[in-house]
């Protein structure tokens, strides 16, 4: 069974930092691109960052320079380091496998809540 388990969210003040983790099981992690997504109340889910199997990265324009995606293939884990957080970053964050502009796995996990206060 495929499992994608997000953790690391919390409540922080604007300007603070968090590091999110996504532990993956049931996939060939080292060969798989990974992505972080987020959904704020009343808004569509959006792709925040991706990392390819070879380490290439891409970011949503609004998080460039603030967020860094990385992976540890030995731990089957992808991370999202979030610095200089803003209230607009408040959302539930999820991981999945990006397939163009859709995702590989339709069953989203619980996600992890990130709340940034002003």
pLDDT in tens, 29-71: 999 999 999 999 999 999 999 999 999 999 999 999 999 999 9
Give the Cα separation of 74 and 55 in Å (integer). 14
* 84 confidence band (pLDDT: 50, 70, 90): very high
* 1 confidence band (pLDDT: 50, 70, 90): confident
What's the mean per-residue pLDDT of the chain?
Answer: 96
Backbone angles phi, psi at 82, to 5 degrees: -120, 115
């Amino acid at each position: 069974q495929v499992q994608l388990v997000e953790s690391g969210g919390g409540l922080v003040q604007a300007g603070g930092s968090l590091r999110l983790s996504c532990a993956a099981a049931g996939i060939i992690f080292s060969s798989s691109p990974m992505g972080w997504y987020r959904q704020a109340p009343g808004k569509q889910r959006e792709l925040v960052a991706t990392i390819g199997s070879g380490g290439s990265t891409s970011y949503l324009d609004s998080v460039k320079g603030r967020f860094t995606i990385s992976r540890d293939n030995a731990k089957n884990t992808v991370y999202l380091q979030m610095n200089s957080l803003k209230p607009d970053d408040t959302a539930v964050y999820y991981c999945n496998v990006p397939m163009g502009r859709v995702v590989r796995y339709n069953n989203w996990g619980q996600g992890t809540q990130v709340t940034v206060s002003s």
